[in-house]
Amino acid sequence: MIEPLEELLAALSRLPGIGRRSAERIAFFLLAKPGEGKRLAEALAGLDRIGRCPQCGNFASDGLCSICRDPKRDGTVICVVARPWEIPHLERTGEYRGRYHVLGGLISPTKNVGAEDLAVAGLVERVKAEGVREVILALEPKLEGDLTAMHLLRVLKPLGVAVSQLAHGIPVGRDLESADELTLGRALKGRTPL
């Protein structure tokens, strides 16, 4: 195979979820439609302009991210996530109008990631400076997420801010019998009054 095509296939194959066959399909599509290839190349070149929001750690192209810049967002509520790519999922719910804070990971003693490696100090500063009344922890419901939540609760509670976390339980549309005992246990613990 010719060298530029081989390079394209190798680059595409490194992307998550794309094997050699998918890479070939994409490459031949781009070869057949040169305009699409140019558009993709321009979009990829634009990645250099994407950085991090200095306030919340979300992806941003120029200074503050669109959420931190938006005056209609409720600045008294902060939703804490581990990574920036979790924000679009929460945004799609249409249920949240507050702001975000990206920690940059989760506490993991086995991977030598401690609280000092995460953006916890920045969160504390924001809570103090921005008149925040509630912090919502949207962290993965597994041990690393739980350890991070425990640490955040410890540093945030003395500031007098309300701390809540996303409900854990049975996914909407699933059968009760298909839920494992842990999920069901957490759902029972976090039941809500009707």
Partner 1 sequence: MAELSRDRGIVLRTQDHAETDRIAVLLTPRGRLDVLAKGARRLEGSGGAVLDPLHVVDVIHYRRRGLHLLKEASLVRTFPHVRGDLERATAALKALAWVVDLVPVEAPDDRPYALTLEALARLDEGLPPPVFTVAYLLRLLGVGGHAPHLRGCVRCGALAGLTWSPEGGGLLCVRCGGRGEVVPPRLWRSLDALARLPGPALARLKLAEEDLAAGIRLLEEFRAAQLGR
The minimum distance between CB 162 and partner 1, in angstroms, equals: 21
Q: How far is the CB of 89 from partner 1 (least distance, A)?
A: 13
| Part of the chain binding partner 1 (CB under 8 A), chosen from 31-39, 75-83, 86-94, 104-112 | 104-112
**Apex 61 CA angle, 57 and 67, nearest 5:** 55
CB nearer to partner 1: give 128 or 154. 154
For partner 1, the closer of residues 110 and 192 by Cβ is 110
Stretch that binds partner 1, among 21-29, 54-62, 98-106, 137-145 (CB under 8 A): 137-145
- Residues within window 150-179 making contact with partner 1, judged by CB under 8 A: 150-151, 154, 171, 174, 178
Query: Binding mask 174-193 vs partner 1 (x if CB under 8 A, - otherwise)?
Result: x---x-xxxx----------
Interface with partner 1, residue 10, by CB under 8 A? no
Give the Cα separation of 164 and 128 in Å (integer).
17
CA atoms within 13 A on the CB side of 134: 13
Q: Looking only at residues 15 through 34 of this chain, which bind partner 1 when binding is defined by CB under 8 A?
A: 16-17
Q: Does the protein bind partner 1 through residue 146 (CB under 8 A)?
A: yes
By C-beta, is 52 or 108 nearer to partner 1?
A: 108
The one-letter amino acid at 189 = K
What is the binding site for partner 1 (CB under 8 A)? 16-17, 108-110, 141-143, 146-147, 150-151, 154, 171, 174, 178, 180-183
